[in-house]
Amino acid sequence: MQVYIMGVIQLEVLNNLMEERFHILRGV
């Protein structure tokens, strides 16, 4: 169960990083 939770957290973090980069690219 802990592994599943860690995987979900990692996916959320990656999604947040990708969204930030996408917004930065869009801004430029």
The Cα–Cα gap between 27 and 25 comes to: 5
pLDDT, residue 6, reads: 96
Indicate the domain borders of the chain: 1-28
- pLDDT of the residue at 28: 66
Give the confidence band of 1 by pLDDT, cuts at 50, 70, 90. confident
pLDDT at 17: 93
pTM > 0.75: yes or no: no
- The amino acid that residue 22 corresponds to is F
| Residue pLDDT, tens place only, 3-21 | 999 999 999 999 999 998 8
11-14 LR contacts (CB < 8 Å, sep 24+): none
- Pair of tokens at residue 19: 């969204």
Give the pair of three-digit tokens for residue 10. Answer: 């990692």
